[in-house]
């Protein structure tokens, strides 16, 4: 029979593992979103002929990607801070 201290330690390890798995899942979904977003953006840029419009579109796309990365980092940080 396990002692109370051993049970508490196992529960803590289980919680840590759950948190690690949740973070890993968030990172994987973020990577999938980034990949699909980049593919979509590249196709959009390839269709654009006008150089000025292309530059403006690229700048907007870069901002979108930066926002996506920031949101993912914030999500991961909030998961890590939670108990």
Residue 83: the pLDDT is 64
- pLDDT by residue (tens digit) across 35-83? 999 999 999 999 999 999 999 999 999 999 999 999 999 999 999 888 6
pLDDT at res. 73: 94
CA–CA dist 35, 45 (Å, integer)? 15
In the predicted model, is pLDDT for residue 1 greater than 90?
A: no
Question: What's the domain range around 62?
Answer: 4-81
> What are the pLDDT digits (tens) for 6-31?
888 888 899 889 999 999 999 999 99
Q: Is the pTM of this model over 0.85?
A: no
d(CA 22, CA 38): 24
Q: How many domains, in total, are found in the chain?
A: 1
Planar angle of CA 55, 59, 62, nearest 5 degrees: 135
């Amino acid at each position: 029979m396990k002692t109370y201290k051993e049970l508490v330690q196992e529960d803590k390890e289980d919680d840590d593992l759950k948190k690690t798995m949740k973070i890993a899942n968030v990172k994987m979904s973020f990577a999938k979103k980034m990949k699909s977003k980049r593919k979509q953006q590249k196709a959009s840029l390839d269709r654009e002929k006008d150089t000025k419009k292309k530059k403006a579109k690229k700048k907007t796309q870069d901002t979108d990607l930066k926002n996506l990365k920031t949101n993912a980092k914030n999500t991961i940080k909030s998961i890590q801070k939670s108990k």
